Structure 1
Amino acid sequence: MLFDGFALTTRTVNGVSYRCCLGGSGALLVLLHGRPETHAMWHKIAPALAAHYTVLCPDLHPERTLAQQADDLLGLADSLGHESLILAGQDYGARVACEVAGLEPSRVKALILLEALPGPDHTGRDDMAFSLTQYESCWFGQLHPKPEANAVQVPAEWLDDPVSEDSFFSPEAVKDYLSAPVWRSSTPFSWPASRPDLHCPVLVLWGEKGRIGGWYNPVVPWQEVSTGKVTGQALSGEHFLPEEAPQETLAAVQDFLASTL
């Protein structure tokens, strides 16, 4: 069973319903999922965090703007009786977390950003090799029928039935990812042109086998947009760190919060 001790609930704010997992007690820690997942991506680490924090894991609404979602999340915090909050976000969730921090900086006490960069600045990297690292370009740069067969926006193993026993993805979580309507909107997604303006402590985590650490020292771009202290480290894994390396991710988050709050 995923999220042992949590309640799966629906909360409405600003006229929008958010499906959430909620558990624990203490300061509010909001965990925001990335693409193409749901709140279920946090199931391996959320219960341990709930021993010390009120942990809220909502499904995001990508069809709403970042500003709208940020306002919604602050409304969810209000509904739980919390003035201040801590935010952790992976990929797309990290950008939403930054939007919250920019909207109400006095309320956000810390940010934990996984597999994310502050903006789409790839100056000096837009050559053929860089372009072919993008998911769609990687496949469409190959001969037919490879592109058509592989241009799928989910990991291929999610489509296995059943999910392989040696996969780090939980079959129950994968079922949620594929059945939830989070990413089914026809509204195209694009990263905002503006870069965040952060003022709280920031922890940056990235996969040592992934692309972000190969392109950058990921701490540096975040230091450029933050007046608060920025620390970071690489973890085993490629992109889905809370599922690929849950114990490392949990330890990094716990150490950061213990030294920050």
Structure 2
Amino acid sequence: MLFDGFALIIRTVNDVPYRFCLGGSGTLLMLLHGRPETHAMWHKVAPALAAHYTVLCPDLHPERSLTQQADDLLGLADNLGHESLILAGQDYGARVACEVAGQEPSRVKALVLLEALPGPDHSGRDDMAFSLTQYESCWFGQLHPKPEANAVQIPAEWLDDPIAENSFFSPEAVEDYLSAQVWRSDTPFSWPVSRPDLHCPVLVLWGAKGRIGGWYTPVLPWLAVSTGTVTGHALPAEHFLPEEAPEETLAAIQDFLSNIS
């Protein structure tokens, strides 16, 4: 059973229904999922965090703008009676987390950003190899199965029935990813072109086997947009850190938050 001890709730904020798991007590800690997942991606780390925090894992609404979603999440925090909050976001969820921090910097006490960069700056990295790993126009210049994987937009193993026993993805979580409507809107989401302006402590985590750490020194771009302290390191994973390396992800978050007053 995913999220043991948590409640699955649907609550309307700004006329938008938000589905989320909620558990624990203490300062509010929002865990925001990335693409193409749902709140279920946090099921391996959320229960342990709930021992010290009120943990909220919502499904995002990428059909809404980042500004709208940030306003929704702050409204949800108000609805639950929390003034201060901490946010952790993976991939797309990291950008939503940054938007929340930008809107209400006095309320956000810390950010944990997984597999994310602050903006679209690829200066000095736009050689052919970089292009072939990043951009849609080059998908079909790559070897199988890369073009097909990008066209489908989900890991191929999600379509295996049953999912391999050695997969780090939980079958229950994958069922939620494939059945939820989060990424099926007719209105495509877009990445922001502006960089965030952050003032709280930031922890940056990335996969040692992934692309972000291969092309960047990920802490440096976040230092450029932050006035608070920025720390970070790689984890033994590729991209889906809370599922590939849950123990390491949990330990990194706990260690970081233990130093946040």
TM, length-normalised to structure 1: 0.96
> 1:51 aligns to what?
51
Residue of structure 2 in register with 1:156 after alignment = 156
Match of 1:204, SS? strand
Q: Give the match's secondary structure for 1:151.
A: helix
Distance 1:214 1:65 in 2: 30
Q: What are the Cα deviations for residues 178-227 of structure 1, in whole angstroms up to 9, with x where unaligned?
A: 00000001222221111000000000000000000111110000000000
User: Which residue does the alignment assign to 2:72?
Assistant: 72
Is 2:112 the partner of 1:116? no
Matched with 1:4 is 4
Identity, % of aligned positions: 86
For residues 244 and 75 of structure 1, do their structure 2 counterparts lie closer, same or farther at Cα, with a shift above 3 Å needed? same
Match of 1:231 in 2: 231
Pairs aligned (count): 261
- Contact 1:208-1:234 within 8 A present in 2 as well: yes
Q: Which residue in the other structure is 2:199 paired with? A: 199
- Which residue of 1 is the match for residue 165 of structure 2? 165
- CA-to-partner distance for each residue in 1:102-126, whole Å, 9 max, x for gaps? 0000000000000000001111222
The corresponding residue for 2:82 is 82
Q: Aligned-residue CA RMSD in angstroms?
A: 1.6
Mark the CA change 1:247 to 1:149 in structure 2 (over 3 Å): closer, same or farther. Answer: closer
Q: Whole-Å Cα distance in 2 between the matches of residues 22 and 49 of structure 1?
A: 11
Unaligned runs of 5+ in 1: none
Q: Deviations over 1:113-146 (max 9, x none)?
A: 0000000111122222111102745641147998
The 1:126–1:6 alpha-carbon spacing in structure 2 relative to 1, beyond 3 Å, is same
Q: Conserved in 1, the CA contact under 8 Å of 2:132 and 2:138?
A: yes
Contact residue 64 and residue 189 of structure 2 kept, 8 A: no
- Written as runs of structure 1 = structure 2, the 5 A alignment for 1:93-112 is 93-112=93-112
Paired with 2:59 and 2:150, the residues of 1 have a C-alpha distance of 27
d(CA) in 2 for partners of 1:51, 1:137: 46
Q: Structure 1 residues 137 and 6 mapped into 2: Cα distance closer, same or farther (>3 Å)?
A: same
Which position in structure 2 is the counterpart of 1:176? Answer: 176
